[in-house]
Structure 1
Amino acid sequence: MSGPHDFDFLHGDWDVRNRRLVDFLDDRGGWEEFPATGRCWSLFDGAANVDELTVPGQGWKGLTLRLFDPEARVWSLNWSSSRSGKLFPPVTGAFGSDGRGVFHGDDTYGGKDVRVRFVWSGISAGTARWEQAFSVDGGNTWVTNWVMEFTRPATS
């Protein structure tokens, strides 16, 4: 069952390897890869956090605000980018007993309604994996379109 400290693993600094489809709905359209750095910090005694992703090679930053609803025992994940300055519709969900976090929501992409899925997995003290997928058929089929591999930066 999810709790207010599910995202404690993410606190601190990260190196992030991004692999993203050029067109989020076309898995034949090719992938782009780029590095980023991330930093996450806790709020509300663990029941909220913010992370900022810095992508210097592309000149933008991203931000996620995560909020835990103690009554429903679910998280809402809210994304924004410096490119748009807008808050995208949230995805909501929870972590299962297997340690994976699965979150769903609705949005639009390229004028089409899409179902959105975020999955957090591979979580350890030094690694984590996030992936995003879109569905245009109500969740029957999914196109994974963005994967981030998080590793802790090397200390000198």
Structure 2
Amino acid sequence: MSSHDFDFLHGRWRVDNRKIADIIGRGTEWTEFEASAEARPLLGGAAVIDSFFAGDWEGMTLRQYDPAADVWRIWWASTRAPGHLDPPLEGRFTDGHGVFFGDDEVGGHAVKVRFDWTTGDEPVWEQQFSYDGGETWEPNWVMRFTRA
């Protein structure tokens, strides 16, 4: 693990999204949409910031490596929740697979959040929620990245 684990993400991307239409209501209907993203390194590579554009809304992610704790922390914000920065997820990469966990609140319910990153030429990110303390996980968003 190193401050360069997210180097695969640098650059411009087309992002194919598959997402539960109503995450807050724990819906079961999936929707698909295209987005664009651009990621760039900061702080000598120990941080990565990206912009995400999907039609009428925009998001951003900050990822920062903490060498003392040997973990990455990931924060998310979007125009869908103005003025709000989600609590960070924390984790690391092993053999090209990154797993990150955090706690949040969705629709008034405490939820554990999991991000899974698979690196490579066409990276994949998946978000999952657990409403039972991490016993079971419900996937609710998958992003497939292709170089723009």
TM, length-normalised to structure 1? 0.90
| Counterpart mapping for 1:14-33 below 5 A | 14-24=13-23, 29-33=28-32
Q: Separation in 2 of the partners of 1:22 and 1:28? A: 7
SS at match of 1:144: strand
RMSD over aligned Cα atoms:
1.3
- Contact 1:66 1:78 (C-alpha < 8 Å) held by counterparts: yes
* Residue in structure 1 matching 2:141, options 119, 133, 146: 146
Percent identity over paired residues: 49
Residue 48 of structure 1 corresponds to: 47
Residue 135 of structure 1 corresponds to: 130
Could you tell me which runs of 5 or more consecutive residues in structure 1 were left unpaired when the two chains were aligned: none
Q: Separation in 1 of the partners of 2:142 and 2:47? A: 23
* Residue in structure 2 matching 1:89, options 63, 87, 90: 87
Q: Separation in 1 of the partners of 2:21 and 2:107? A: 13
Q: How many residues align?
A: 147
Counterpart residue identity of residue 94, structure 1: R
TM, length-normalised to structure 2? 0.95
- Contact 2:18 2:32 (C-alpha < 8 Å) held by counterparts: yes
Could you tell me which runs of 5 or more consecutive residues in structure 2 were left unpaired when the two chains were aligned: none
Aligned-pair distance for 1:27?
6.6
Residue 77 of structure 1 corresponds to: 74
Q: Separation in 2 of the partners of 1:26 and 1:118? A: 20
Aligned-pair distance for 1:78?
0.2
Residue 9 of structure 1 corresponds to: 8
Q: Separation in 2 of the partners of 1:119 and 1:50? A: 18
Aligned-pair distance for 1:23?
2.5
Q: Deviations over 1:94-134 (max 9, x none)?
A: 001x210000000000110000000001x22x310000000
